[in-house]
Chain A
Amino acid sequence: MSHNPNPFDFVTFASASPNLKSTKEWLSLDSLKTGYLELQVQALTPVHIVGTQEAKNTGHGQRQSREEGKPNFKILNSHFYRRHDQAFIPASSLRGLLRAFIETACNGWASQMTPFYLTEKSRHQIGFRAINAPKDQFTDEQREKIDFNLDASLPKEHEPRVVKDVTTEKIDLASFLFGYVSPEKKEKSEEAQEASNSSWRGRIIIEDARIPADHLSGKTGPYRMPDVEDSAFMGGPHPSASSWWYQKPYGIQLRPVKHFKVCDFIGAGFRGRKFYYHQDPQSCVAWYLNDQNWKSRPDHRVYNFPIECLEVGKTTESFRLYFENVPAVLLKLLLLALQPGNRLRHKLGYGKAYGYGSINFIVKSGVVRNEQTAGATVSPVQETLNEIHNALWDEGKLNKIGIGQFLERESLKKLAPILWYQEPLSQMFTYPPFDAGGFLPIAREADLKAALPPTLAGKLSSTVRKVIDAEARAVAQNLAKQGRRAALHFEVYQESAEGYSQIQARKLEQAV
Chain B
Amino acid sequence: MKFNRPFENGALGVLQGKWQLTLKTPLLIRQGSLPESKAALKQQPKNFQKGRGQEVGLLWKTAPAKLKEQSQFYEKEWSEITDFNYHFFVDDKNQLQVQYSIPASSVRGALRQWAIKNLITNRDEWNLFRLEKQDKKTEQDLTNLIEKLWEHLQKRKSRWTDILSLFGIAYDIDPNVDNRLIWAGRLRLTTRVNETASNKVLDAVGKSITATDGPQNMKRHVTVRNPLDRVTMAAKEQGLHFGLEMSEGETFEVNFHILNPKPTDIELINLWHTDIHNGFLRFGGLTSQGRGRVEIDGEQYRLFVSSASSALHQQLKNLGKKDLAENTYFNSIWLGAELTRAELAGIDFTHREKQ
Binding site for B on A (CB under 8 A): 8, 10, 27, 34, 36, 50-55, 70-75, 79, 81-85, 90-92, 95-96, 100, 103, 110-115, 130, 153-154, 178-179, 188-191, 195, 201-202, 204-208, 227, 230-231, 236-237, 239, 246, 270, 272-274, 276, 319-320, 322, 324, 352, 372-375
Residues of chain A with a CB closer than 8 A to B288's CB: 95, 178-179, 201-202, 204-206
Q: Decide yes or no whether B156 CB sits under 8 A from chain A.
A: no
Partner among A10, A51, A70 whose Cβ is within 8 Å of the Cβ of B205: A51
Closest to B202 in A: A84
Partner among B25, B32, B201, B228 whose Cβ is within 8 Å of the Cβ of A112: B228
Closest to A69 in B: B47
Closest chain-A Cβ to B53's Cβ sits at a distance in Å of: 4
Residues of chain B with a CB closer than 8 A to A54's CB: 51, 54
Residues of chain A with a CB closer than 8 A to B47's CB: 70-71
Residues of chain B with a CB closer than 8 A to A50's CB: 52
Q: How far is the CA of A213 from the CA of B230 in the complex (A)?
A: 32
Residues of chain A with a CB closer than 8 A to B225's CB: 92
8 A-B pairs besides A236-B232, A246-B232 with CB distance below 8 A are A75-B51, A83-B26, A84-B219, A90-B289, A188-B33, A189-B32, A205-B288, A372-B118
Partner among B54, B123, B230 whose Cβ is within 8 Å of the Cβ of A273: B230
Closest chain-A Cβ to B136's Cβ sits at a distance in Å of: 12
Q: Decide yes or no whether B154 CB sits under 8 A from chain A.
A: no
Q: Decide yes or no whether B208 CB sits under 8 A from chain A.
A: yes
Q: Are A206 and B52 in contact (CB under 8 A)?
A: no
Closest chain-A Cβ to B81's Cβ sits at a distance in Å of: 15
**Can you list 10 A-B pairs, Cβ within 8 angstroms, ordered by A?**
A10-B231, A51-B52, A52-B206, A55-B54, A70-B49, A92-B225, A112-B227, A113-B230, A190-B285, A374-B275
Closest to A232 in B: B50
Within 8 A of A (CB), among B224-247: 225, 227-234, 236-237, 239, 247
Q: How far is the CA of A81 from the CA of B204 in the complex (A)?
A: 11
Residues of chain A with a CB closer than 8 A to B279's CB: 36, 205, 320, 322
Partner among A84, A208, A273 whose Cβ is within 8 Å of the Cβ of B25: A208
Quick one: given A84-B247, A320-B279, A374-B118, are A189 and B233 in contact (CB under 8 Å)?
no
Closest chain-B Cβ to A119's Cβ sits at a distance in Å of: 15
Residues of chain B with a CB closer than 8 A to A188's CB: 33
Residues of chain B with a CB closer than 8 A to A75's CB: 50-51
Closest chain-B Cβ to A294's Cβ sits at a distance in Å of: 19
Band of interface residues on B: 35 or more
Q: Are A374 and B232 in contact (CB under 8 A)?
A: no
Q: Are B205 and A52 in contact (CB under 8 A)?
A: yes
Closest to A100 in B: B230
Q: Decide yes or no whether B317 CB sits under 8 A from chain A.
A: no
Closest chain-A Cβ to B233's Cβ sits at a distance in Å of: 5
Most chain B CB within 10 A, of A36, A79, A189, A374, is at: A374
Q: How far is the CA of A27 from the CA of B124 in the complex (A)?
A: 12
Closest to B131 in A: A195
Closest to B53 in A: A52
Q: How far is the CA of A153 from the CA of B231 in the complex (A)?
A: 10
| Top-8 shortest CB links A-B | A55-B51, A207-B290, A52-B53, A73-B50, A237-B232, A82-B206, A91-B289, A114-B237
Residues of chain B with a CB closer than 8 A to A53's CB: 50-54
Partner among B33, B50, B118, B205 whose Cβ is within 8 Å of the Cβ of A189: B33
Q: How far is the CA of A501 from the CA of B234 in the complex (A)?
A: 28
Q: Decide yes or no whether B274 CB sits under 8 A from chain A.
A: yes
Closest to A204 in B: B288
Quick one: given A73-B48, A100-B230, are A51 and B290 in contact (CB under 8 Å)?
no
Q: Decide yes or no whether B322 CB sits under 8 A from chain A.
A: no
Q: Are A274 and B239 in contact (CB under 8 A)?
A: no
Partner among B26, B33, B119, B231 whose Cβ is within 8 Å of the Cβ of A130: B231
Closest chain-B Cβ to A354's Cβ sits at a distance in Å of: 14
Residues of chain A with a CB closer than 8 A to B293's CB: 207
Q: Are A73 and B290 in contact (CB under 8 A)?
A: no
Q: How far is the CA of A51 from the CA of B290 in the complex (A)?
A: 20
Instruction: Mark contacts of B47-70 with chain A using CB atoms, 8 A cut-off: 1 yes-contact digit, 0 otherwise.
Output: 111111110000000000000000
Q: Decide yes or no whether B121 CB sits under 8 A from chain A.
A: yes
Quick one: given A54-B54, A81-B206, A372-B118, are A112 and B229 in contact (CB under 8 Å)?
yes
Most chain B CB within 10 A, of A91, A205, A236, A272, is at: A205
Partner among B49, B51, B229 whose Cβ is within 8 Å of the Cβ of A114: B229
Most chain B CB within 10 A, of A55, A178, A195, is at: A55
Within 8 A of A (CB), among B260-292: 271, 274-275, 278-280, 282, 285-290
Q: Are A51 and B230 in contact (CB under 8 A)?
A: no
Q: How far is the CA of A237 from the CA of B285 in the complex (A)?
A: 32
Partner among A82, A111, A231, A273 whose Cβ is within 8 Å of the Cβ of B49: A231
Most chain B CB within 10 A, of A92, A154, A237, is at: A92
Closest chain-B Cβ to A31's Cβ sits at a distance in Å of: 13
Q: Are B53 and A205 in contact (CB under 8 A)?
A: no
Q: How far is the CA of A208 from the CA of B28 in the complex (A)?
A: 14
Partner among A27, A55, A208 whose Cβ is within 8 Å of the Cβ of B290: A208
Q: Are B49 and A83 in contact (CB under 8 A)?
A: no
Q: How far is the CA of A53 from the CA of B207 in the complex (A)?
A: 11
Q: Decide yes or no whether B321 CB sits under 8 A from chain A.
A: no
Q: Are B231 and A322 in contact (CB under 8 A)?
A: no
Closest to B24 in A: A207
Closest to A73 in B: B50
